[in-house]
């Protein structure tokens, strides 16, 4: 049975361009099960039908849920998605060039520090990529407005570090799979 209170919250969340991840960071700074994700998965066909009647496609996999306008099943074609990909690539380049493991970004106790973001923003490639992607604000603001606001990253409430969500991790897993397959 649909939980109407959760349904309203889910609608607001998805219609504002946010992703619903299987897990979210709780107030204690640890990953917790996301009740919105569980609500949609338990009633997946009802929710798919609801969004289809509004002209959207609800895309759900084992780790996250999002909507797209119409029947387009590729989020990667939107302007916001391209900005998110650019930011994730910039972050990934920094992580690998400093010999960090991807766990630095995915562990609730890890994440990008403000010092890391400052270092990334000083790299010449970063400045050029941000300009070409029409993200003329600083890197910190871009991460907050594009990745955190959309739930691709979370800001840990205890450490203030930026940690990848399930959807953010999927980006790197897909990239790694393509690299290994290619």
* pLDDT tens, position by position, 67-91: 998 765 555 467 888 899 999 999 9
With bands split at pLDDT 50, 70 and 90, how would you rate the model's confidence at 136? confident
Label each residue of the chain as H, E or C: CCCHHHHHHHHHHHHCCCCEECEEECCCCCEEECHHHHHHHHCHHHHHHHHHHCCEEEEECCCEEEEEECCCCCHHHCHHHHHHHHHHHHHHHHHHHCCCCCHHHHCCCCCECHHHHHHHHCCHHHHHHHHHCCCCCCHHHHHHHHHHCCCCEEECCCCCCEEECHHHHHHHHHHHHHHHHC
Q: Mean pLDDT for the chain?
A: 90
In this prediction, residue 152 carries a pLDDT of 97
In this prediction, residue 182 carries a pLDDT of 58
More confident residue, 102 or 43: 43
Q: Is the pLDDT of residue 168 over 90?
A: yes
More confident residue, 173 or 50: 50
Q: Is the pLDDT of residue 100 over 70?
A: yes
In this prediction, residue 148 carries a pLDDT of 97
Q: Is the pLDDT of residue 180 over 90?
A: no
In this prediction, residue 156 carries a pLDDT of 97
């Amino acid at each position: 049975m649909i939980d109407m209170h959760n349904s309203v919250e889910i609608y607001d969340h998805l219609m504002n361009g946010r992703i619903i991840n299987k897990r979210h960071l709780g107030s204690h700074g640890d990953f917790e099960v996301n009740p919105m994700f569980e609500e949609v998965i338990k009633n997946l066909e009802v929710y798919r039908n609801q969004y289809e009647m509004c002209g959207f496609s609800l895309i759900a996999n084992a780790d996250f849920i999002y909507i797209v306008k119409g029947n387009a099943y590729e989020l990667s074609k939107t302007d916001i998605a391209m900005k998110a990909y650019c930011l994730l690539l910039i972050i990934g380049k920094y992580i690998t060039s400093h010999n960090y493991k991807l766990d630095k970004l995915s562990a609730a106790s890890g994440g990008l520090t403000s010092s890391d973001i400052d270092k990334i923003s000083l790299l010449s490639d970063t400045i050029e990529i941000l300009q070409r992607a029409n993200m003329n604000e600083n890197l910190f603001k871009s991460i907050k407005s594009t990745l955190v606001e959309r739930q691709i990253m979370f800001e840990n409430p205890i450490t203030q570090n930026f940690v990848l969500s399930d959807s953010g991790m999927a980006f790197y897993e897909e990239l790694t799979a393509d690299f290994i397959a290619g």
